[in-house]
Amino acid sequence: MTAPIILAIDTSCDETAVAVTRGQTILSNIIASQAQLHQHYGGVFPTVAKQAHKENIEPTIKAALTRASKDWSDINAIAVTQGPGLAPALEVGLNHAAQLAKKYSKIAIPINHLEGHVLSVLAQPRLKTKLNTKTNQVISPSLPALSVIVSGGHTEFVLVKQIGRYQRLGATVDDAAGECLDKVGRLLNLGYPAGPVVEQLAKKGDTTRFKFPLPMTEIKTFNMSFSGLKTHSRRLINELETKNQLDRQTIADFCASLQEGVFNHITYKLAKLLNQVSVKELWLGGGVAANMTLRRKLRQVAKEHQLPLRVPYTKKLCGDNAAMIGVVSSFKSLKPSANLDRKPGWRIDD
């Protein structure tokens, strides 16, 4: 029996994302990014995001169906992100999903965006061979696993006891890691989002030129904090500007050192956590998971704890996308949900 075909929608932040999935297999994964619109503000501006989602959602749905070579008669259910995220942005996806569900008599399944990032490591590409166009090998992970989510809105350690049963073991108490990279990148005029630019510039930089303090080492919990790194960066950048020393090489060195500070904080807390919990796999997800330096550092920690590290098979699954939402829905029962109200602060273990 083949798995149901899902049309998945995510409008939690600044990407209007629609995908068609079958089980863990991605048939299409379309992302209409609003990054250009938000450049001007150096971050996501909620009312601008809402308007852009409204304009983009129908064309993005059409593109996802076309790319998957499906039409509405092939779709068994609609999965939609209910939270966490920006309330006005979530509302567009949820309202649209509710309307489509009514129009085409489909079930709408509300999904947690963070569960999407966690399970993004289980997504599979569509097989292109003639013999095997329908089914794909299902990934059966060894559980429990520890998932590290590093994005622009979240930085947290999630224990995956079973698929659908999670416990948050630690999280940032202030800014997310991606947010820290974006905010410091803004001070360096690197555009928005700055994370990928920081990664590119860091390749030519010296990681040891600027020293960043390791935060929260005195605190026994596995929580993290990135706002101190941001404040420290601001002070250093102001000093460099005053002395007229912010040249290209200095910016590259700054990016390399900043990455070191942000990622060492995550891996320090992660290593401590892995000494306390017994897991069989380490997973990585979220926008910053696309960063090769972060992956290398996590691979090192995984190796020290004799754990396999799973990352999404393509970088497109790290940042916000709807394919991950479709994958989560493949583990849910297809029953009508009475509640499609937005949940901006929805925790993964609520």
Q: How far is the CB of 79 from Zn ion (least distance, A)?
A: 15
Q: Does 151 bind Zn ion (CB under 5 A)?
A: yes
Which alpha helices (DSSP H) does 166-219 contain, by range?
177-187, 195-202
Partner from ligand KG4, Zn ion, none binding residue 291, C-beta < 5-8 Å depending on class: ligand KG4
- The structure tokens listed for 303 are 């190796």
**Segment near ligand KG4 (CB under 6 A), from 19-27, 88-96, 131-139, 281-289?**
281-289
Among 287, 317, 326, 329, binds ligand KG4 (CB under 6 A): 287
Q: How far is the CB of 182 from ligand KG4 (least distance, A)?
A: 5
Residue window 302-321: x/- pattern of binding to Zn ion, with contact defined by CB under 5 A:
------------------x-
Among 152, 205, 228, 312, binds ligand KG4 (CB under 6 A): 152
Q: How far is the CB of 288 from ligand KG4 (least distance, A)?
A: 4
Angle (CA) 210-212-213 rounded to 5° is 150
Q: CA Rg, the chain, in Å?
A: 20
Q: Does 290 bind ligand KG4 (CB under 6 A)?
A: yes
Among 23, 83, 195, 261, binds ligand KG4 (CB under 6 A): 195
d(CA 148, CA 289): 9
In contact, 277 and 157? CB cutoff 8 Å: no
Partner from Zn ion, ligand KG4, none binding residue 147, C-beta < 5-8 Å depending on class: none
**Segment near ligand KG4 (CB under 6 A), from 53-61, 118-126, 264-272, 286-294?**
286-294
In contact, 290 and 320? CB cutoff 8 Å: no
Q: Does 319 bind ligand KG4 (CB under 6 A)?
A: yes
Residue closer to ligand KG4, measured from CB, 75 or 229:
229
Sequence-separated (6 or more) residues with CB below 8 Å from residue 181: 193, 194, 195, 198, 258, 259, 262, 288
Among 24, 147, 151, 172, binds ligand KG4 (CB under 6 A): 151
Residue closer to ligand KG4, measured from CB, 100 or 270:
270
In contact, 18 and 8? CB cutoff 8 Å: yes
- Residue number of the CB closest to ligand KG4 reads 287
Question: What strands, in cross-sheet order, belong to the sheet with 165-171?
Answer: 165-171, 155-162, 145-150, 281-285, 309-310
Entry field: residues in the chain: 350
Q: At 180, is the secondary structure helix, strand, or coil?
A: helix
d(CA 156, CA 168): 7
Residue 119 identity: L
Q: Does 312 bind ligand KG4 (CB under 6 A)?
A: no
Q: Of 350, 294, 316, 304, whose CA–CA distance to 150 is shortest?
A: 294
Residue closer to ligand KG4, measured from CB, 83 or 152:
152
Q: Point out which residues bind Zn ion (CB under 5 A).
A: 151, 320
Q: Point out which residues bind ligand KG4 (CB under 6 A).
A: 13, 151-153, 178-179, 181-182, 193-196, 199, 286-288, 290-291, 319-320
